[in-house]
Structure 1
């Protein structure tokens, strides 16, 4: 189904002011679903966004400590440099890692604080844990350069913060890496060779969770759930409800001024082709866009999902395409799983997602997705634009405008879905085959055909309606893996 999702809001200048730093979505408890209630009073201020805080510590003994037999391990009587050995130069490695970690943390937007000295004593381990408990960081990053310190790294990781990254360089372990690190819940264990990408994945997972937990999702529906304000329990996203009548009244109050008409005609001008959509419905699309922005601003929302299938001329398909392209997550049909996944992708991948409904070519073992709200900015607001047609919404009169976005053949893509209430994240990688024409395919305005990596039966990918396609590859998909591992989610898929 594709019928309008929600109407999007402000003119471009208003949008940029109101948009700010936008975040991720939420879930109302199952007990709330479908129960009528009163909307909360508006306006609401946007929730402030503070950066995630990560404490970083290095584990290794200085050379003089080993040479003088002051190490706290069984090798000290031999003045023995266990793996990584006496030529590893851990102090020099610490300087390099510190520089890299600072750079990526600044780029991502994470605040990092480093322990003042490398830790190699049990008392210092205990002191770090107590300091962390007092400082309450969002995560710790433990970099272990010494074979016999694995248990200390585990202790520091599991007792200091809600989640952790443990980096253990190859050659700093002897024999198999410890199972208690590899398989620990809530801990991202990296055993690799100078793998900056993996450390960045862990930091991005910390950042995404922090932003989600400071975000508000506006849920617009005919029946406002009771209570009208709640939190999704795993991602800790705030959710507020608003009545559809309020959105309709905001839309009806929007006038088609000169600026709005210019924006409508700009959407038309950019199109590669317009099929059976009159100028009237370009204008209605931008009225919906302004209404979406205004109701989001009224509720201080970072994301929105609207019960949108029967909004008639108020359908916000193009608004959602614009907002998602600007990293403001907008989900169709009042669907929480899909909107939460859009919000997760906004912070973890910094990409717009395409919420859609799935279909399957079982003869060719290919995945097919179709819907009406695809962004033409699929690679971030500053990235390239996809070509698009404008054609009528597929299911219901009047002939409101929707985008038929053309996806790039052979581009890597991720199919993802967060399953609320199940503590599960699904993630599949593959490549675009094409954007099939309609006919011969049906579905909705934008259609994508995908080859999935290493899957014998494409129907195994089905996890219900409204998964999300992202233009991203296997490297980015591993950010999903890091997020699932650190925040105690079951990961399904082929990553």
Structure 2
């Protein structure tokens, strides 16, 4: 097969999500001819047969910034895993985020669409509040009873506050269903503090994340995009946090008032949780999730403007119970000093269970994203 043959095949197959090129021999030039289409391309080396061309082709396409991932392995499942990432990218590109805010998110929405293919739909707080008022009180009470019965305990919120959270959950779920979206993020702090949101969305986010949707805090579109990437890569939920460094222990404490209780996905087991008030103003209802310990976790962030991602890993060691700051506080043993030195792009990070750093790096290559490994 020649480069001309490859170009003919590209024209014949039309628009595709990506390519897998099995390099069975050397110096045909096919891998480069296909990679230069700019589509995600996996180059698979038939060891010895295609090795020389894979090495030189990858060096060339890498220097040109093309979205290519090389696989040089005697384990065929490594090729299968790499090719599956093309499907992950396709799923990401078909996703839609609803952002509920009065603010101007046009630049972020445009960058996310251009770099990730994700559509961002802005919805007014008035519409969410209308759906909240139209939500069935009977259904909201059922959700409140479920959350209360499954919680370890309820500390501050009254049942009425938890029922309000149930109505907000139903309102957000209605928006997601109507718009065929898989993620929603709400400018919660701004809207609640200004009296323009009728209930905190924290418990609703908790439930959506447990169900396989995405509920994200503070109209943070970058973190919401990161959560979508995680969902399609792993099938797991994740949670946004305000990381707090404790260099004396080599920890980062990932703190927020929303986190899932099904960290392994909707079909997995549930960890305990406590229903609390929102930490900053001691109002509403939020979640203190007591997350599994002794396991590896991965933390990422996305910058669509730079087409780049950060990643670091660690081991969950403690659930911190402290009245300071947000309710959920997962302490993770990390290379804290290195991460602090390498920090970039704001405070929020997004954490999920398992060591997925290699998969994140590979996915980023196929998306044409740069990766900053924060713990090196």
Q: CA–CA distance in 1 between the matches of 2:69 and 2:293?
A: 34
Once the two structures are superposed, the pairs formed by residues 49-68 of structure 1 within 5 Å of their partners are none
Which one of 9, 16, 20 corresponds to residue 137 of structure 1? Answer: 16
Which one of 138, 161, 182 corresponds to residue 302 of structure 1? Answer: 182
Which one of 195, 204, 220 corresponds to residue 319 of structure 1? Answer: 204
Q: CA–CA distance in 2 between the matches of 1:201 and 1:162?
A: 18
Q: CA–CA distance in 1 between the matches of 2:301 and 2:51?
A: 38
Q: CA–CA distance in 1 between the matches of 2:108 and 2:21?
A: 41
Q: CA deviation at 1:448?
A: 0.7
Q: CA deviation at 1:161?
A: 5.8
Q: Deviations over 1:155-188 (max 9, x none)?
A: 2431456121011144445679624415623110
Q: Deviations over 1:326-366 (max 9, x none)?
A: 22122211111100000111111111011111110022221
| Larger displacement relative to structure 2 (187-196 or 159-168) | 159-168
Is 1:423 matched with 2:307? yes
User: CA RMSD for the aligned pairs?
Assistant: 2.4
Which one of 39, 43, 59 corresponds to residue 162 of structure 1? Answer: 39
Which one of 461, 465, 472 corresponds to residue 347 of structure 2? Answer: 465
Contact 2:247 2:337 in 1 (8 A): no
Q: CA deviation at 1:422?
A: 1.1
Which one of 402, 409, 427 corresponds to residue 286 of structure 2? Answer: 402
Kindly indicate which of the two structures has a greater share of residues assigned to helix.
2
Q: Secondary structure at the match of 1:447?
A: strand
Contact 2:6 2:34 in 1 (8 A): no
Question: Unaligned regions of 5+ residues in structure 2, if any?
Answer: none
Once the two structures are superposed, the pairs formed by residues 212-231 of structure 1 within 5 Å of their partners are 212-223=92-103
Q: Deviations over 1:60-103 (max 9, x none)?
A: xxxxxxxxxxxxxxxxxxxxxxxxxxxxxxxxxxxxxxxxxxxx
Q: Secondary structure at the match of 1:127?
A: helix
Aligned residue number for residue 445 of structure 1: 327
Do the aligned partners of residues 250 and 177 (structure 1) sit closer, same or farther apart at CA in structure 2, a change above 3 Å counting? closer
Once the two structures are superposed, the pairs formed by residues 14-33 of structure 1 within 5 Å of their partners are none
Q: CA–CA distance in 1 between the matches of 2:92 and 2:67?
A: 17
Once the two structures are superposed, the pairs formed by residues 75-154 of structure 1 within 5 Å of their partners are 121-122=1-2, 125-135=3-13, 136-146=15-25, 148-149=26-27, 152-154=29-31
Do the aligned partners of residues 168 and 240 (structure 1) sit closer, same or farther apart at CA in structure 2, a change above 3 Å counting? same
Which one of 330, 355, 358 corresponds to residue 478 of structure 1? Answer: 358
Once the two structures are superposed, the pairs formed by residues 283-432 of structure 1 within 5 Å of their partners are 283-309=163-189, 310-311=191-192, 313-398=198-283, 400-432=284-316
Contact 1:133 1:160 in 2 (8 A): no
Contact 2:236 2:263 in 1 (8 A): yes
Q: CA deviation at 1:205?
A: 2.4
Q: Deviations over 1:193-244 (max 9, x none)?
A: 1241x32442332122212222221111124656998562101111121111
Do the aligned partners of residues 175 and 340 (structure 1) sit closer, same or farther apart at CA in structure 2, a change above 3 Å counting? closer
Aligned residues: 363
Q: Which has the larger radius of gyration?
A: 1
Aligned residue number for residue 79 of structure 2: 199
Q: CA deviation at 1:153?
A: 4.3
Q: CA–CA distance in 1 between the matches of 2:143 and 2:342?
A: 39
Do the aligned partners of residues 170 and 212 (structure 1) sit closer, same or farther apart at CA in structure 2, a change above 3 Å counting? same
Question: Unaligned regions of 5+ residues in structure 1, if any?
Answer: 1-120
Q: Secondary structure at the match of 2:115?
A: coil
Do the aligned partners of residues 272 and 256 (structure 1) sit closer, same or farther apart at CA in structure 2, a change above 3 Å counting? same
Do the aligned partners of residues 479 and 157 (structure 1) sit closer, same or farther apart at CA in structure 2, a change above 3 Å counting? farther
Q: Secondary structure at the match of 1:352?
A: coil
Q: CA deviation at 1:129?
A: 2.8
Q: CA–CA distance in 2 between the matches of 1:170 and 1:455?
A: 39
Taking structure 2 as the reference length, what is the TM-score of the superposition? 0.89
Contact 2:247 2:336 in 1 (8 A): no
Contact 1:367 1:451 in 2 (8 A): yes
Taking structure 1 as the reference length, what is the TM-score of the superposition? 0.68
Aligned residue number for residue 152 of structure 2: 272
> Relative contact order, CA 8 A, sep 6+: which one is greater?
1
